[in-house]
Every structure is written in structure tokens, then in C-alpha cells.
């Protein structure tokens, strides 16, 4: 008898051959993106220790099998909520499948359960897979190393085509910021969940809102998530992160609490004069990576006509 048959890609692949073959290489299954996101902080010797003692025994233990999405909830921090729908396979149920793993920050922001405004797409009845396609979740057969490499990731402009705005002010605003601001930078509704102070795997979560230079596109300002890796995060494993300052403690992030109108779309001064929500020297994480300084952005005041 097979204890958890839906955890076995080979068994699922007997009927769903292409899906299982693609999924074996997908980021959801390999979780290699988590490893590659942090490994640059480490020396070769430290990376070897990380792979053996941290990645395989911690990160990889939380990867998603077929059964983790279609039969039962995955065990998060040792806790499993059991079967999704008794003993039946479930094709899709984002409220249970996606939210089990992405319920720490993304899903509660999207539904408004975190305390802020619900995402406007959620209010219109859209769920995760209305934007994130099956191919994106199962993989397309390529072994990507980071999610940013995935082709056909959802983009706001897939549905909201520039140039088709009803209001002239919106059209002008989009033209002005098309090359230097992400959609989230203006349309994120407000504070979203940020995690701080990660020492030995423990972190405090509380609301926050940060805008700064994207670490992946230095010409763009966008919303930033705190990556709470600090210098002694992996100290219990003998990893001191020899190259800690090679990576920032903030990554550009598509925040899932989008609203059509925010205080930044209503008033240019919110960014250009008040610089509200922008990352500053005062709000940087203490003792964080020195490369964080490069993410601080000071918008220029809007010129006044004589």
C-alpha cells in the first residue's frame, strides 16, 4: 500500500503525464528559487552547508506535491489542516490550496483579512487562478532558477492596456511613469504585511509600506518587501554569510492589495513633495545589508511653471 499516493509524481503521471513531467521541474516543486535567492550571501563552503543542513531539511520540506494542492493541506511548520474535501481530489480551491502556503502575507492582503482594504480584483470576484494560470503553477517544462525567469507571468497590462484609460489624467499619469514606476508603486492600497528581525528563523510580522528603487531594475521605483535575513540568521548552522552585503534586505514585490484610486493617484505631492512611504535612512532595517542604501529613492519635486 502506498501511504500518500498523490505525493508521488510518477503515480499521478500515469494519467497526467505532461503535467507531472513539467511539474517535476517547476519552482513550486523544486523550491530552488528560495535557495538561489539567498545563496549569493554565502561562500562556497557555506553554500555547501546550507544545501545540506538548511535547504533540504527546511525549505525543501515545504515543497508542494500534487497532493498538497489537490487532496490535503501541506504541513506548514508541522501543522496540517487535513483533507481539502474529504477523500475527493480537488481540481482547484484557491481559498484552501493557495492560501495554505501563501496565507502568511499574500492571500490575507488579497482578501482584506489582514486588516486593510481587499484587493479590487477580489472584490470583483476574481481569484488566484484568474491571473496565475495553470501552466504557471505546474510549470512549462523548463527548470527555471528564479520566478522572474518564468515566461508569461501575469502583468497588469495584460488586461489594462495602456492608452485605453477613460480619464485623461490617468492616461497622462501612466505615460509619465511608464518607464520609471511599477503599477504597484501607485496602486497599492496601503500597508501590507512585512516581516522583521529574523534571527534563527523567528520573525515578527507587522504592517508596513515601503517604496524604493527596484533591486532588479534600478530605473524603476516600486513596492518593496522586507527580506528579514540578518547577519546571524544561519549562525546556528555555522554559516556567517561571508558575502552578506551582496544582496539587499528588500526585494521588489507585487503587492496584492491593488486599488484603482489611492492617495498617490489622487495627489502628486504624496510622492513628489511628502515622499510618503518611501524608504529612508531612518526606516532601513538596523545592521542590514549595505546595498540597501542604493534602494533609497528621493523623487524630484514637480517643476512649477513661471
**Mean of pLDDT values over 17-34:** 93
* 50: confidence class by pLDDT, cuts 50, 70, 90: very high
Q: How high is the pLDDT of residue 129?
A: 94
pLDDT exceeds 80 at position 61: no
Among 84-98, 236-250, 271-285, the least confident range: 84-98
Residue 116: pLDDT over 90: no
Dump pLDDT digits (tens) for 170-223.
999 999 999 899 999 999 998 998 988 877 667 788 899 999 999 999 999 999
Average pLDDT over residues 73-92: 81
Asked whether residue 266 carries a pLDDT value surpassing 80, the answer given is: yes
The percent of residues in the chain predicted with pLDDT above 90, rounded, is: 59
Reduce the secondary structure of the chain to three states and give it as a string: CCCCHHHCHHHHHCCCHHHHHHHHCCHHHHCHHHHHHHHHHCCHHHHHHHHHHHHHHHHHHHCCCHHHHHCECCCECCECCCECECECCCCCCCCCHHHHHHCCCHHHHHHCCCCCCCCHHHHCCCCHHHCCCHHHHHCCCCCCCCHHHCCCCCCHHHCCCCCCCCCHHHHHHHHHHCCCECHHHHHECCCEEEEEEEECCEEEEEEECCEEEECCEEEEEEEEEECCECCCCCHHHCCCCCCHHHCCCEEECCCCCECCCCHHHHCCHHHHCCCCCECCCCCCCCCCCHHHHHHCCCCCCCCCCC
Task: Reply yes or no on whether the pLDDT at 64 is more than 90.
Answer: no
pTM for the structure as a whole: 0.90
Amino acid at each position: 500500500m502506498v501511504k500518500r499516493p498523490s505525493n508521488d509524481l510518477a503515480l499521478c503521471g500515469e494519467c497526467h503525464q505532461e503535467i507531472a513531467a513539467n511539474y517535476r521541474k517547476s519552482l513550486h516543486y523544486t523550491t530552488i528559487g528560495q535557495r538561489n535567492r539567498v545563496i549569493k550571501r554565502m561562500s562556497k563552503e557555506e553554500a555547501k552547508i546550507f544545501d545540506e543542513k538548511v535547504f533540504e531539511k527546511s525549505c525543501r520540506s515545504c515543497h508542494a506535491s500534487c497532493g498538497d494542492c489537490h487532496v490535503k493541506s501541506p504541513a506548514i511548520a508541522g501543522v496540517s489542516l487535513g483533507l481539502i474535501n474529504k477523500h475527493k481530489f480537488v481540481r482547484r480551491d484557491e481559498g484552501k490550496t493557495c492560501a495554505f502556503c501563501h496565507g502568511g502575507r499574500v492571500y490575507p492582503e488579497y482578501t482584506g483579512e489582514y486588516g486593510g482594504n481587499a484587493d479590487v480584483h477580489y472584490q470583483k470576484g476574481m481569484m488566484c487562478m484568474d491571473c496565475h494560470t495553470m501552466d504557471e503553477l505546474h510549470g512549462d517544462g523548463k527548470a527555471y532558477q528564479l520566478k522572474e525567469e518564468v515566461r508569461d507571468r501575469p502583468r497588469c497590462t495584460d488586461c489594462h492596456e495602456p492608452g485605453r484609460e477613460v480619464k485623461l489624467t490617468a492616461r497622462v499619469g501612466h505615460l509619465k511613469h511608464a518607464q520609471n514606476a511599477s503599477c504597484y508603486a501607485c496602486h497599492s492600497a496601503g500597508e501590507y504585511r512585512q516581516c522583521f528581525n529574523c534571527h534563527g528563523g523567528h520573525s515578527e510580522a507587522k504592517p508596513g509600506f515601503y517604496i524604493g528603487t527596484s533591486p532588479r531594475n534600478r530605473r524603476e521605483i516600486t513596492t518593496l518587501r522586507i527580506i528579514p535575513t540578518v547577519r546571524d540568521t544561519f549562525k546556528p548552522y555555522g554559516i556567517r554569510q561571508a558575502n552578506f552585503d551582496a544582496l539587499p534586505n528588500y526585494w521588489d514585490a507585487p503587492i496584492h492589495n491593488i486599488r484603482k484610486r489611492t492617495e498617490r493617484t489622487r495627489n502628486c505631492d504624496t510622492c513628489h513633495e511628502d515622499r510618503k512611504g518611501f524608504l529612508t535612512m531612518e526606516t532601513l532595517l538596523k545592521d542590514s545589508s549595505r546595498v540597501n542604501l542604493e534602494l533609497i529613492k528621493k523623487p524630484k519635486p514637480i517643476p512649477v511653471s513661471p
